[in-house]
């Protein structure tokens, strides 16, 4: 397949996502999904890169909507940790050390940067160090509240 693409197109770009792409109603990205996608792309390029005449680069996309009539999914501030980790994974691969370095650089000192959804309610970190962290905390607060509310309303 790559040789066919290379015969038709003089250069090839790849695209991957750091947010969106996991559900139209998600509020917080599933970072592990996006990391896995990046790792698969790196594996694909490692295995078949020699079949591509000129690989130009990769576009990191962040879906905002599934269509223009749908609600927005995963606002950008909630996805900055995913973007930071995905960029680092693209450059260096995923390791626990990479995860911790990115987490610390974003201000996750007292609380971990989760890459998989957690059972709510979850502790909400404060004083993070990336733009829009307050919005991310607000969405975490809302999701914690919604979980508690649903538990009360739906209990016997």
Lowest-pLDDT choice from 6-15, 33-42, 90-99: 6-15
Whole-angstrom CA distances from 102 to 49, 106, 112 are 28, 6, 11
Q: What is the pLDDT of residue 68?
A: 85
pLDDT band at residue 139 under the 50/70/90 scheme:
very high
Question: How far is residue 143 CA from its own chain's centroid?
Answer: 18
pTM, entire model: 0.91
Is the separation of the CB atoms in 55 and 5 below 8 Å? Answer: no
* pLDDT one-digit tens code per residue, 63-75: 888 888 888 889 9
* pLDDT one-digit tens code per residue, 114-135: 999 999 999 999 889 999 999 9
């Amino acid at each position: 397949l790559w040789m066919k693409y290379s015969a038709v197109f003089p250069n090839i770009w790849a695209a991957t996502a750091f947010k969106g792409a996991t559900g139209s109603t998600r509020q917080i990205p599933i970072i592990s999904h996006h990391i896995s996608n990046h790792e698969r792309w790196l594996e694909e390029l490692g295995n078949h890169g020699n079949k591509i005449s000129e690989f130009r680069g990769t576009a990191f996309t962040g879906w905002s909507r599934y269509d223009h009539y749908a609600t927005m999914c995963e606002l950008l501030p909630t996805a900055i940790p995913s973007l930071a980790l995905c960029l680092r994974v693209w450059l260096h691969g995923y390791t626990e050390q990479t995860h911790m370095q990115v987490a610390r650089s974003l201000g996750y000192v007292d609380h971990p940067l989760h890459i998989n959804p957690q059972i709510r309610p979850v502790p909400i970190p404060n004083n993070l160090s990336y733009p829009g962290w307050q919005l991310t905390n607000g969405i975490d607060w809302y999701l914690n509240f919604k979980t508690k509310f649903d538990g009360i309303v739906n209990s016997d």
